[in-house]
Chains A and B, each alone.
Chain A
C-alpha cells in the first residue's frame, strides 16, 4: 500500500515537472545551453535524489533531546553520532526499496538520458559525497536542539535556503551574474548541483576532480564542525526528566 502511494505520487510529480519545464522552454528556448531533454533529465534525477536525501536520520537527535531518551543511547558504549548516521543509512536503504519500482515507472513515462558508464560512476561517487555533506548539515541543524530545544525556525529557514541554492529545483547555472558564481561557492551546491551537473554533462570529465575536491572540502569542514559541536554539546547535555 505504502509502495503504491509512493509510486503514484512520484509518477505525478515527474509528470508535472516535465509539463512545467516543457512550458517554460516553449517561452524561452534553451537557457544556458541546457536543452529541454537535459533539463527534464536533470529535474527527474533531482526528484529521485530527493527521495533519498530527504530522509533525515538526524531528526532523531532533536526528538531524543526533547524527550530525554538520548540518555539511554549515551549510557551505551557506542558513538552516538555514528549511531544516528547508521540509522539514517538504514532508513535510506529501506526507502530505496520503495524508490526502485518508482524509478522504473518514471523512466518508462518520461525520456531520461542515461549517460555513459564513466559519467554514471562519477555521478554515483559525487552523490555519495553529497549524501554525507547533507548528513552533516542535518546533524548540525538538529544539534541546535542541545542549546535551545527549539529548532523549528532555524530548520525552516535553512531548508528553504538550501532547497533554492542546492540546485534541487533550478540548476545553479541559471542564476545570473555574480550571484550565479556565489551559489557555486556555497556548501549547498555540493549536495544536489554537483552530482546533477555531472550527470547531465554540464561538468565535463576534465573538471570532475576539481568538483570532487570542493565536495570533499565541504565534507571535511562539516565533519570537523560536527565533531566539535558534538563534543561541546555532549559536555553540556542536560537530560530532560528523571
Chain B
C-alpha cells in the first residue's frame, strides 16, 4: 500500500483582479472580478514507504503548491490526497505528526531564540519523549556539525548553518515522511554534499519516505532512483532516472587524450565533435556501437594517455525536456 497517494489533484488560485489607482483600490474591495491561475492540474502519483523521489520541474510548475497540499496547509480545489492514511487538510494536526518539512526559502526556526531553544520548543510541541529527543539531537548535532552554533540566535546564523538547523528541526520527532523543498538552495559545494549525505542516511537508516524538490540536478543524481517531472501543473514523466537517461542519452561521448598531438583523429563508428592537440571528443550512437570496442579500436590506432566515457548528463536532458517537452523516446531508440 502506498504511503502517499494523490489522485487528479488540482489547485486553482483565485485572486481578485486589482485595479490601478486609489479609486481602483476601493473598487477592488467590492469587485467580483477574479483572476484564476491553475497551479496544479491533475497530479496523480503514489509513493511507497521508504522511497526517495525527486520532484522536478521548472519555476512555477506547481511543485511547492503540491507539497503544501501534502502538508495540509492548502486545501485542494479538487482531487484526492492521502498521506499515511490521513487526508491532510481535514486532519491537519494529525498529519503534522507524521511529517517533517524543510522549505529552503523559509525557516521554521524561531528567529529570536538560540538554535537549541528552538529544538526544545519543538520537543514540547510534538511531545517528543526525552530519550528520543536526546538521541536524535546528539545524532543530528554530530552529523550536521552543529556544536559551534547551537547556542547562537537563529537570526545570526549563516544560510548554511540555518539550513542544517532546519533539517534537525524537521526530523526531531521521527517523522515517517519528509518533504524537502529546495533544501540545498544557496549552499556551497561542501555544505551541499554534507546535506546530501545526511538525506541519504536518514532515508537509508530510518526508512523515511522523502520527496525532494530541487533545481540542482546533482542532488537528484546523487540521491534519487525515481523522479517525477512536473510542468505547468501536469506530470510529464514519472519513473527511473536511469530510464530517462537511456531514453534521452542515445548519444554518448568518448573523450580521448593522446600522448602526442594528433591532427583530425578518426574512429570508425564515432563522429569527431571537437579536437584540440592531444584531446579529442567523439560522439557515438549507443545502440549501434559498443564503447569497449571503440576504446579498443582507438588504442590500436593511437597512443592513448587517458580515456573518459561521459555519462549522459541529467542536467542537459532535463534542460532539453523543459524546452522541447517530454515525449517517450523508446521507439526512436529501438529503430
Bound-complex Cα distance A114 to B68 (A): 55
Q: Are B96 and A241 in contact (CB under 8 A)?
A: no
Contacting A at CB under 8 A, from B43-84, are: 64-65, 68, 71-75
Cα distance A78–B108 in the bound complex, in angstroms: 14
Can you list 19 A-B pairs, Cβ within 8 angstroms, ordered by A? A71-B73, A71-B103, A72-B107, A72-B108, A74-B71, A74-B73, A75-B71, A75-B73, A75-B108, A76-B96, A77-B97, A77-B125, A77-B126, A79-B93, A237-B74, A238-B13, A238-B74, A239-B68, A239-B74
Q: Which of A77, A236, A239 contacts B96 (CB 8 A)?
A: A77
Name A69's closest neighbour in chain B (CB-CB): B106
Chain B: interface residue total (CB-CB under 8 A): 26
B287 close to chain A: CB less than 8 A:
no
With A148-B29, A242-B65 known as contacts, the answer to whether A75 contacts B96 (CB < 8 A) is yes
**Contacts A71-B73, A74-B73, A77-B94: A242 and B108 contacting too (C-beta < 8 A)?**
no
User: A235 to B75, alpha carbons, bound, how many Å?
Assistant: 6
Cα distance A239–B69 when bound, in Å?
11
B235 contacts across to A, CB distance below 8 A = none
- How many A residues, CB 8 Å from partner? 19
B225 at the interface (CB under 8 A from A): no
Verify A76–B74 contact, CB threshold 8 A: no
List A contacts of B75 (CB < 8 A). 235-236
A69, A77, A79, A237 pick with most chain B CB within 10 angstroms: A77
If the complex has contacts A72-B106, A75-B73, A148-B29, are A242 and B64 also in contact, measured as CB distance less than 8 A?
Answer: yes
B196 contacts partner chain A, Cβ-Cβ < 8 Å: no
Contact between A241 and B125, CB atoms less than 8 A apart: no
Question: Would you call A68 an interface residue if the criterion is a C-beta within 8 Å of the partner chain's C-beta atoms?
Answer: yes
Tell me the number of A-to-B contacts counted with CB atoms below 8 Å: 52
Residue of chain B at shortest CB distance from A71: B73
Among A68, A75, A148, which residue has its beta carbon within 8 angstroms of that of B101?
A75
Q: What sequence of 0s and 1s flags, for each residue 73-98 of chain A, a beta carbon within 8 Å of any chain B beta carbon?
A: 01111110000000000000000000
CA distance A239 to B101 in the complex (A): 15
**A72, B121: Cα distance in complex, Å:** 14
Establish whether residues A68 and B96, one from each chain, have CB atoms under 8 Å apart when the complex forms.
Answer: no
Within B78-137, the residues touching A (CB, 8 Å) are 89, 92-94, 96-97, 99, 101, 103, 105-108, 125-126
What's the least CB distance linking B128 to chain A, in Å? 11
CB-based nearest A residue for B126: A77
Specify which chain A residues have a CB less than 8 angstroms from the CB of B93 in the assembled complex: 77-79
CB-CB nearest in chain B for A83: B125
A residues 199-242 touching B (CB-CB < 8 Å): 234-239, 241-242
Residues of B within 8 A of A79 (CB): 93
Q: How far is the CA of A60 from the CA of B188 in the complex (A)?
A: 34
User: Considering the chains assembled together, what is the distance between the CA atoms of A84 and B91 in angstroms?
Assistant: 20
Complex Cα–Cα for A79 and B101 (A): 18
Determine whether the beta carbon of A75 is less than 8 Å from that of B99. yes
CA of A231 to CA of B114, assembled, Å: 33
CA distance A77 to B13 in the complex (A): 26
Q: Does the CB pair B74–A241 fall under 8 Å? A: no
In the bound complex, what is the Cα–Cα distance between A237 and B73 (angstroms)? 8
Task: State A68–B64 Cα separation when bound (angstroms).
Answer: 13
B289 → chain A, closest Cβ, in Å?
A: 46
Instruction: Write out the residue numbers on chain A whose beta carbons fall within 8 Å of the beta carbon of B126.
Output: 76-77
The CA-CA distance from A77 to B86 in the complex, in Å, is 14
